[in-house]
């Protein structure tokens, strides 16, 4: 009989098929889907996030772990009842206008998904107006802006200003990130927070919602 702790270990090790098998076994044995997510899949990604932050795991391993986590999520998500919906909140994420870098943004999105957030990923090179439309449509709790170029950092401020002009600023918390971005810059442009990596971004999003 498989144990939920085995799911944690298999996620950390990035064993995609094993995570799917163990998850299915737990479901067949009557384990609650929400418990499998919380104590298995999300718990595994939490460890991955901590190890990434501590430079004990690197981007490719994190991506494989996220894939393993998704393999389990695909099995349990459809089984969740309305009341036990795993969603910790909704995050609209994208790389801002003029910027095509998405490796970091994707990593953050995966970590957020691993922590139970619904992520609406708009992609790269996203103009402020598109963020405004997405906030109207998806009513997220959090908006995440990514920029990797010093030349596209001003587009973060433009996006925040556009959300304010559209009267949506108070409905969302805005977090920013990307290699050239800092806490000071976040304060300067009126964002609600900055995080240096996916694991901290997840902590920040959890704080926003609490």
| 209: CB partners within 8 A, 6+ apart | 88, 89, 141, 142
Which of 99, 121, 141, 192 is in the footprint of ligand B12 by CB under 6 A?
Answer: 99
Cβ–Cβ under 8 Å, residues 178 and 151:
no
Q: Which of residues 15 and 99 has its CB atom nearest to ligand B12 in the complex?
A: 99
Distance CA 124, CA 179 (A): 16
Distance CA 39, CA 7 (A): 9
Which of 104, 114, 116, 140 is in the footprint of ligand B12 by CB under 6 A?
Answer: 104
59 makes contact with ligand B12 (CB under 6 A) = yes
Distance CA 205, CA 89 (A): 9
115 makes contact with ligand B12 (CB under 6 A) = no
Least Å distance, CB 131 to ligand B12, is 12
201 makes contact with ligand B12 (CB under 6 A) = yes
What's the Rg (C-alpha) of the chain?
Answer: 17
Which of 15, 105, 114, 163 is in the footprint of ligand B12 by CB under 6 A?
Answer: 105
Which of 103, 123, 133, 183 is in the footprint of ligand B12 by CB under 6 A?
Answer: 103
Size of the site for ligand B12 (CB under 6 A): 29
Structure tokens at 64: 């494989």
State the pairing for strand pair 142-146/193-194. Answer: unpaired
Q: Which of residues 158-197 bind ligand B12 (CB under 6 A)?
A: 175-180, 195-197
**Footprint of ligand B12 on this chain (CB under 6 A)?**
59, 98-105, 107-108, 144-146, 148-151, 175-180, 195-198, 201
């Amino acid at each position: 009989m498989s144990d939920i702790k085995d799911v944690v270990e298999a996620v950390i090790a990035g064993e995609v098929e094993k995570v799917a098998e163990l998850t299915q076994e737990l479901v067949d044995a009557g384990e609650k889907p929400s418990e499998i997510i919380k104590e298995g899949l999300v718990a595994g990604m939490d460890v991955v996030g901590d190890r990434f932050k501590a430079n004990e795991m690197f981007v490719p391993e994190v991506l494989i772990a996220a894939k393993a986590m998704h393999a389990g999520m695909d099995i349990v998500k459809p089984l969740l009842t309305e009341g036990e919906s795993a969603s910790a909140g909704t995050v609209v994420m994208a790389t801002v206008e003029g910027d095509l870098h998405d490796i970091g943004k994707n990593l953050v999105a995966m970590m957020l998904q691993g922590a139970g957030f619904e992520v609406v990923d708009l992609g790269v090179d996203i103009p402020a107006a598109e963020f405004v439309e997405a906030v109207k449509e998806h009513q997220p709790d959090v908006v995440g802006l990514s920029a990797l170029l010093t030349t596209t950092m001003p587009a973060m401020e433009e996006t925040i200003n556009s959300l304010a002009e559209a009267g949506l600023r108070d409905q969302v918390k805005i977090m920013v990130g990307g290699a050239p971005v800092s806490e000071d810059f976040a304060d300067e442009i009126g964002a609600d927070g900055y995080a240096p990596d996916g694991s901290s971004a997840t902590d920040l999003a959890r704080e926003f919602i609490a």
